[in-house]
Structure 1
Amino acid sequence: MTIQRPGLPQDLPDPEVLWARWALVAVVEATTEAEEGAGYRTGTWIDDEGLHLDDCGCTWWTFSRLGEGRYVLYGEDESSGCKWHEPPVDMLAGGPAWLPYEVLRNRLAGNELGCVYWYDNGAWARAPYPEDLQDDGLDCGMSRFVERDEAHRLLDEYVGYGTPGRELLMEHAESLRLTPELLEEHVSSLEGGAPDLPAMTRALRRAGLDAQLS
């Protein structure tokens, strides 16, 4: 699946698929130390706000569930031209009433927002863009989860390059059948030792990738 530049709503997969792939990475990366850490956080993780990605460099993203069948995806990659366009793109134009406007407007005020997409009534949508806008950052930010092979590669450090465990974990995450037992069997820490299973289980429960834990 290819993301255009700038992105189009139809470039994004079903939100449950996007959620499962992103959340799986957050689960395998979960550690108690990161959970308890104070201050600025990087990597991939899940909290009460939703799923997060921050590479400590040029890209950050948040993906939130906002009720039955409603999602919002927002963030920034340095490739986005929305805020630099003249005049700046109104990234909230046409947005539904349930969007987290306070959060989004705070990001806009801090010049920290690159694009906003929302999902409702079975379809993705975004604000209209001017014809000369070159990029909104969606491709650079989200290809890692939208393209299945890229999502597999995000698991390599924790599961092993090219191992069957990558596909097995992804399949179980996407079908909401992921279990702590599977994580314990296939995931290792970055140092190659035992994973932080309690932290991964907490992240699994929060993400709802196992129907019995959600």
Structure 2
Amino acid sequence: MTSEDEYEKAFWKSFEEALDDDLATEITRHGAAETGVRELAKDLTERIAQELAAIGPEGWTAMSATFALTVGEAAAEVVFTDGRQSVRIDPRAVLPLARELRELSARLIEGPWWRFHLRLSNQGRLETTFDYGDEPFPDLFPPEAYRADIAAHPRPSVPMWLAAYIGHGDRQRRDPREAFRRARADRAAKISPVHSTRDFPTPSATWARWALIASAFVAVGSEWGPRMGVSAGTFEGSKRGGSTLATLPGGRMVLSGGVWNDPALAAAYQAGGDLPDLFAGAPDWVADPVLNHRAAAGMLSFCYWSPDGERWYRGDSPPATGLSEAVPGVWTAETVVDMVAGLTGDNGDELHREAVALLFGAAEEAAVSRELLALAYGDDADIDGAHYELMLAGLVATAPVEEMSAEEAIVRVREHILGLGLDTRGYPLSELTADRFSVGHLVFVPTRPGEIAIGRALFYVGDDGVLEQSSSSIAPSRYIADFEKRYAERHGG
């Protein structure tokens, strides 16, 4: 017998032993004690593995295959690797066998599997897994495919996430048109929201604490924890809960998200109950663009909103006591300081904890500095990343802007005029001059003796580089006063 024959014999011996162990365990777990079912399933799985192994590329060391099936849909992926590179193989030749295996599994108590995973090594080690939807699938067929499958193979229960996927019917969607329509209807029906006084910190405090926690996770290089974006904070927890804290002009905020396996949603999707009216009494600006992505999938568990950054309101959302898996730990100052101190150092170190407490206070006052971040997180932390999270949240103290020179202001105005291709006849750029005011320069070409110019171009350049064009028709004193106000607003004044 050649060494190749010996290798093949050893391969299939190991393969059959693994098949006996894995498949027997899997089928027994799902309640099929009949020897006939077990043997048929074993034979089918063996044939699938053999046919896949036979079409593998030369030198492969491991193979993984995933089959996703319903009565009307099929998808599969088969990947071989030699430890250096991976190759995908067309799996269509074995799909009929996979479908036959699924039909056989329909005899099991839990019904036919949704996905079947098979892993095989070139040493004959086989692993099989039947997926009944305990976790959401990475890729989904259209909802009607699962409805048809459930009709063909009724089940004692369907995972809540899948029940929501096939049954939500966009009932939690709230596009702007629907938001305005519903807000008008609620006002006409005198439906008012619940004033939430004990669920969350004030909206402005929630925002600051969310951002501070985000900065700590970024500082230590963790992929977990909340994050800040443009006008919104996001959070995805380790237990599949998550939320979005969105801000709108005027201090308004919306906090929405979902808890995994929410009992209220389970009652609606699995027992035919009504969905909670999360938007009862909500204003018209509570709409899809500011809602957590779970609303689109019918998996939204709660929605709170604030008209002014100081008070929370809600419809039929549950109290916050049941939402801890979906919201970062913003509940109290002590909670936040404990979490941040524990993440970024030794929570038992009093000096470290005091530094974090100082940073916490600065965040709530929108006065965070790099120095405070370095003191609290240490020089080895990602201070730039942490600073950026807090900057996105508007909680960073504005550094004084260095005064711009008259020469630079003139250069900026000249480049601005040339860049726009403006007609400079009668407005010689070589004669531009700059007069200083409190936060910048007024740049212009002076009139010559005896010259009267109405509507002559005037340019206002702030120390921060902002350039605005006006004319002599508006008194400079009046324009400068407004310019200074805008400058102060840009810099937190």
> What TM-score do the two structures reach when normalised by structure 2?
0.36
Structure 1 runs (4+) greater than 4 angstroms displaced: 31-34, 133-136
**Letter of the 1:99 counterpart:** V
Is the partner of 2:266 in helix, strand or coil?
coil
Q: How far apart are the structure 2 equivalents of 1:52 and 1:114?
A: 15
Residue 71 in 1 paired to residue 253 in 2? yes
Q: CA deviation at 1:13?
A: 2.0
Higher helix share: 2
Q: Does 1:168 align with 2:355?
A: no
Residue by residue, what CA displacement relative to the aligned partner does 1:158-214 show, whole Å, maximum 9, x if unpaired?
1430421221111111111111111112204xxxx7011221222121111124277
Q: Which residue of structure 2 lines up, in the alignment, with residue 37 of structure 1?
A: none
Distance 2:212 2:292 in 1: 29
User: What whole-Å deviation, never above 9, does each CA across 1:90-132 have from its counterpart, x for those lacking one?
Assistant: 2122221111325649633413211000001553111136xxx
How high is the sequence identity, in percent, across the aligned residues?
A: 24
Query: Aligned partners of 2:358, 2:211: CA distance in 1, in Å?
Result: 15
Give the 5 Å matches for 1:46-65.
46-65=228-247
Report matched runs for 1:81-120 at 5 Å.
81-85=263-267, 86-102=273-289, 104=291, 107-120=294-307
Matched, 1:19 2:207: yes
SS at match of 1:201: helix
- Whether the 8 Å CA contact 1:93–1:128 is kept in 2: the answer is yes
Aligned counterparts of 2:244 and 2:389: Cα–Cα separation in 1: 16
Query: Greater CA deviation, 97-106 or 173-182?
Result: 97-106
Q: Does 1:128 align with 2:316?
A: yes
Kept after mapping to 2: 8 A contact 1:114/1:136:
no
Q: Which runs of 5+ in 1 are unaligned?
A: 1-6, 35-40
* Preserved contact between residue 216 and residue 343 of structure 2 (Cα < 8 Å): no
**The structure with more radius of gyration:** 2
**Cα distance, 1:169–1:198 mapped onto 2, change above 3 Å:** same
Q: 1:113 to 1:197 in 2, by over 3 A?
A: same
CA deviations on 1:12-54 (whole Å, 9 max, x unpaired) are 22211111111101112226978xxxxxx74211012511111
TM-score calculated relative to the size of structure 1 = 0.77
Question: Which residue, 158, 161, 167 being the options, matches 2:344?
Answer: 158
- Say which structure, 1 or 2, has more relative contact order (CA 8 Å, 6+ apart): 1
CA distance in structure 2 between the partners assigned to 1:79 and 1:209 by the alignment: 35
Aligned equivalents of 2:254, 2:212: Cα separation in 1: 18
Q: Secondary structure at the match of 2:295?
A: helix
| Contact 1:116–1:126 (Cα < 8 Å) also in 2 | yes
Distance 1:110 1:46 in 2: 23
For 2:21, the equivalent position in structure 1 comes to none
- Gap change, CA 1:43 and 1:106, over 3 Å in 2: closer
CA contact (8 A) 1:152 1:166 kept: yes
- Matched with 1:204 is 390
Shift in alpha-carbon separation, 1:178–1:53, aligned structure 2, 3 A = same
Contact 1:80/1:136 (CA < 8 Å) preserved in 2?
A: no
Taking the aligned partners of 1:174 and 1:154, their CA distance within structure 2 comes to: 16
Q: Distance in 1 between matches of 2:325 and 2:204?
A: 20
Deviation at 1:136, TM superposition (A): 7.8
Letter in 2 for 1:187: Y
Which ranges of structure 2 fall in alignment gaps of 5 or more residues? Answer: 1-193, 268-272, 400-491
Equivalent position SS for 2:251: coil
Amino acid at match of 1:206: L
Q: In structure 1, how many angstroms separate the alpha carbons of the residues matched to 2:232 and 2:319?
A: 29
Q: Secondary structure of 2:255's match?
A: strand
Change (3 A) 1:142 1:102: closer
